[in-house]
Amino acid sequence: MIVQIMIVHINQTMVKGDRSRPFLIMIDEAWKLLAGKRSGEFIEEAGRIARKYNGSIALATQQLTDYFRQEGSASEKAFENSSHKIILKQNSESFKAMRANPKLAGLLMRIGS
């Protein structure tokens, strides 16, 4: 219920806000939202809408694999549509999972891990 209220508030703020002023929505522990179908879809859609209104969305999660739990998910699309990705140290189990995923294996090759 609280997440739904926040979603409505964020959407209203973006649409009715001052478009000349850039804004950033920061979502920490994003894995909780990325795991849900509806909340993952919200993140993907909000990212697209935010760009129209001079905004950005930043997601923070501890494991890169949180974006790729389900093939073709909204969270995967949100990752792919991100213009900037900051990837900090990952544990060895995460690297094994990333190498097994073709999309992440290519990313690993580009960053040299």
Residues 85, 67: Cα–Cα separation, whole Å: 12
> Is 25 within a domain?
yes
The answer to whether the pTM exceeds 0.95 is no
CATH code: domain of residue 46: 3.40.50.300
Cβ within 8 Å of residue 33, ≥6 positions away: 3, 27, 39, 40, 42, 43
Query: Cα 63 vs. chain centroid, distance in angstroms?
Result: 12
For position 10, what pLDDT does the model report?
77
Backbone angles phi, psi at 8, to 5 degrees: -60, -45
Positions of the chain with pLDDT under 50? none
Number of separate domains in the chain? 1
Residue whose token pair is 């879809």: 41
> Is 97 within a domain?
no
For position 113, what pLDDT does the model report?
53
